[in-house]
Amino acid sequence: MDDGFVLASSSPRRRDLLAQLGVTPDLLLAPEIDETPRSGELPRAYVTRMAREKAQAVAARAPQPSVLLAADTTVACGRRILPAATTPELVDQCLRLLSGRRHTVHTAVAVVDAGGRLRERLSATVVQFKRLSDAERAAYVACGEGLGKAGGYAIQGRAAAFVSFLSGSYSGVVGLPLHEVRQLLTASGLP
Ligand SMILES: Cc1cn([C@H]2C[C@H](O)[C@@H](COP(=O)(O)OP(=O)(O)OP(=O)(O)O)O2)c(=O)[nH]c1=O
């Protein structure tokens, strides 16, 4: 027997987004890879590499998936890759940078089928934030929702009120572009 559908992610948001498609993973495995960007690496190349490396790292531990899916979400301001904001100071720095500006949220998805074939898609969504006052920034940092998030915010929470414009995939910003995910899973033979 094989491992069934393997979700190579520790993110509860990715599990919830898959549930929106009616898909429940048979196995959850957290990818452990080095997420440091290479010197001069551009956002699209970086996020694509991250999703592929997550898929490959987990595939090595789940030798017989019927289908395996991994993803990576990265916030970019121009050519600059924003960090996953692991401290309140980093959340504040990200918000200062994003205030009143457009940025792009890239989510790359990598799917491996039963034969070991890799299929990939990249979703890019342009998001504009309103100009944030010092008080708005401080309140958002204090609420803690930005911690651990790429770019220091989560669009599915309070930061939704900062978004004055969005073009692309809302689910992609949260962590999995569902239009692309559905196409990849179907092409990979998931019923
Ligand atoms: C921009 C943005 C990011 N995020 C989240 C999605 C991702 O979980 C996280 C980006 O980090 P990722 O490295 O893509 O994912 P992860 O470390 O949480 O999970 P795993 O590698 O195990 O799959 O930021 C939101 O939830 N909302 C948003 O609006």
Give the 3-state DSSP-derived string for 34-48, with helices as H, strands as E and coil as C.
CCCCCCCCCHHHHHH
Q: Which of 2, 26, 72, 113 is catalytic?
A: 72
Q: Which of 73, 105, 143 to mutate to test the pocket of ligand 1 (most atoms within 8 A of CB)?
A: 73
Cα–Cα distances in angstroms (integers) from residue 191 to residues 9, 24, 120, 163, in the given order: 21, 12, 19, 36
- Alpha carbons 118 and 14: distance in angstroms, whole number: 19
6 lines ligand 1 (CB under 6 A): no
Q: Which of 35, 149, 170 to mutate to test the pocket of ligand 1 (most atoms within 8 A of CB)?
A: 149
Give the pLDDT score at 3: 73
Using the 8-state DSSP alphabet, how is residue 86 labeled?
-
Closest CA to 6 of 70, 50, 57, 71: 70
Q: Which of 7, 9, 10, 11 to mutate to test the pocket of ligand 1 (most atoms within 8 A of CB)?
A: 11
pLDDT in tens, 34-78: 999 999 999 999 999 999 999 999 999 887 878 999 999 999 999
Going by pLDDT thresholds of 50, 70 and 90, the confidence category of residue 191 is confident
Closest residue by Cα to atom 21, ligand 1, is 9
Closest residue by Cα to atom 23, ligand 1, is 9
ipTM of this complex: 0.95
Architecture of domain 4-187: Alpha-Beta Complex (3.90)
Q: Please classify residue 58 by burial: count the beta carbons closer than 10 Å to its beta carbon, then call 0-12 exposed, 13-18 middle and 19+ buried.
A: buried
pTM over 0.90: yes
Q: Are 107 and 173 in contact (CB under 8 A)?
A: yes
154 lines ligand 1 (CB under 6 A): yes
Mean pLDDT for 25-29 is 95
Cα–Cα distances in angstroms (integers) from residue 33 to residues 57, 77, 88, 108, 146, in the given order: 7, 24, 24, 15, 22
Closest CA to 55 of 4, 119, 110: 110
- Alpha carbons 143 and 88: distance in angstroms, whole number: 10
Q: Are 53 and 129 in contact (CB under 8 A)?
A: no
9 lines ligand 1 (CB under 6 A): yes
Q: Are 151 and 145 in contact (CB under 8 A)?
A: no
Mark whether 72 is an active-site residue.
yes
Give the pLDDT score at 66: 87
φ and ψ at residue 7, rounded to 5 degrees: -95, 110
